[in-house]
Amino acid sequence: MGVFSIFPSRASVAAGEVDALYTFLLVVGGAMTAIIFASVFFFAVRYRRKSPNDPAPKAIHGSLPLEIAWTVIPFLVMLVMFAWGTKLYFQNYTPPLHDTLDIYITGKQWMWKVQYPTGQREINELHVPTGSSVKLILASEDVIHSFFVPALRLKHDVVPGSYQTFWFEPKEPGRYHIFCAEYCGTGHSDMGGWMTVMTPADYENWLAGGANGGSMVELGGKLFQQYGCVTCHVTDHEGRCPSLLNVFGRPVVLDDGRTVMADEAYVRESILNPNAKVVKGYKHDIMPVFEGQISEEGLLQLIVYVKSLSPPTASPAKPAASAAKRSSK
Ligand code: CUA
């Protein structure tokens, strides 16, 4: 794009679409400004008082067609902005249900800690392959941060106690800045890093470079043992606690009649504060409260472990088979 460019480089497919909307806003805004200013000058000159003897012009008191025109036309233009913006927002913040590359990022004063399902961990570095749907699940360990990658045109606050999810499809290999865009303390301006977009082959090489300590599923599985979750969960449906097999990504009926989706936020809440949403048919106050006992990164590992118990491609026949395998061990 040359030495001087108005837009930062584009690392994802959606970045171009955001720029198109931005350009539209800019052109409409610019055009409106030009029309208003041109009219002000034109009327000021055209209808100025040419001599002290000129009579005062006759005032116009309202014109219905004019009123309707300048209400309806801008309204329709705004509706286009609204619809276009909404479409892009939901597109960027609603990851595809399947076949995403999930990467877990924890913000803390003052760094971004990145975990990959395969067990790699980095700080202030994010590696992603082109051509795949990368889903980022963001958490904060302390205060509100904001994850911002200009090249992706994605920015969102990361609020403690909840997860923020968005996704993108990396397009252009390269190195792109990551920022924290929410003032979070004295080290805020240093809280940034780099996203490296690689070709799939390079990415495989990079992954092969090694993870020490096991994959996130393995680490989560260890925590699952360590915190004693295993004594109640994942045995069969007859236990004191609901089985976790094939729960993730599916609707869950609660004892108050509500139905919620078993997503990352739900699993997180159910670990930290199990009584908040109790599954229909199970008792309150059975499971201990883990609030304040597990780190954000540990929680993410547990969530990945719970996810692994619900293979996305599982046909109705498969879960029973894998359950049998697990219980026979
Ligand atoms: Cu984190 Cu600013």
The whole-number mean pLDDT for each consecutive block of 10 residues of the chain, a chain of 329 residues, reads: 71 88 93 94 88 79 89 93 94 83 90 87 89 90 92 90 87 91 92 91 81 76 80 66 79 83 83 81 76 81 83 48 37
Q: Is 105 in the pocket of ligand 1 (CB under 6 A)?
A: no
Q: Is 111 in the pocket of ligand 1 (CB under 6 A)?
A: no
In a domain, 83, yes or no: yes
* Residue 311 CB neighbours (<10 A): 15
Q: Report the nearest atom of ligand 1 relative to the CA of 181.
A: 2
Can you give the pLDDT at residue 323?
A: 38
Is residue 147 within 8 A of residue 155, CB to CB? The reply is yes
C-alpha span between 152 and 11 (Å, rounded) = 6
Q: Report the nearest atom of ligand 1 relative to the CA of 182.
A: 2
Going by alpha carbons, the residue nearest to atom 1 of ligand 1 is 145
In a domain, 230, yes or no: yes
In a domain, 102, yes or no: no
In a domain, 179, yes or no: no
Q: Is 303 in the pocket of ligand 1 (CB under 6 A)?
A: no
Q: Is 188 in the pocket of ligand 1 (CB under 6 A)?
A: yes
Q: Is 244 in the pocket of ligand 1 (CB under 6 A)?
A: no
Is residue 156 within 8 A of residue 181, CB to CB? The reply is no
Beta strands in 116-162 (DSSP E): 121-123, 125-129, 133-140, 145-149, 154-158
Q: Is 113 in the pocket of ligand 1 (CB under 6 A)?
A: no
Can you give the pLDDT at residue 224?
A: 83
Instruction: Return the CATH number at 81.
Output: 1.10.287.90
Can you give the pLDDT at residue 3?
A: 60
Tokens found for residue 61: 């008191």
Q: Which domain holds residue 87?
A: 8-51+59-93
In a domain, 172, yes or no: no
Q: Is 264 in the pocket of ligand 1 (CB under 6 A)?
A: no
Can you give the pLDDT at residue 238?
A: 61
pTM of the model: 0.71
Q: Is 145 in the pocket of ligand 1 (CB under 6 A)?
A: yes
End-to-end CA distance of the chain, in Å? 59
Tokens found for residue 60: 């116009």
C-alpha span between 168 and 131 (Å, rounded) = 10
In a domain, 226, yes or no: yes
In a domain, 38, yes or no: yes
Q: Report the nearest atom of ligand 1 relative to the CA of 187.
A: 2
Can you give the pLDDT at residue 208?
A: 78
Can you give the pLDDT at residue 95?
A: 83
Instruction: Return the CATH number at 235.
Output: 1.10.760.10
- 256 class by beta-carbon count within 10 Å (0-12 exposed, 13-18 middle, 19+ buried): exposed
Final residue before a domain boundary, out of 69, 93, 117: 93
Q: Report the nearest atom of ligand 1 relative to the CA of 143.
A: 1
Containing 101, the helix (H) or strand (E) segment is: strand 100-108
| The residue to which tokens 């472990």 are assigned | 305
In a domain, 270, yes or no: yes
* Residue 150 CB neighbours (<10 A): 18
Can you give the pLDDT at residue 305?
A: 85
**In terms of DSSP bridges, do strands 192-198 and 251-253 run parallel, antiparallel, or are they unpaired?**
unpaired
Number of domains in the chain: 2
Q: Is 138 in the pocket of ligand 1 (CB under 6 A)?
A: no
Contacts 24+ apart (CB under 8 A), 253-259: 253/279, 253/280, 254/278, 254/279, 254/280, 255/279, 255/280, 255/281, 255/282
C-alpha span between 168 and 273 (Å, rounded) = 31
Can you give the pLDDT at residue 324?
A: 38
Is residue 177 within 8 A of residue 279, CB to CB? The reply is no
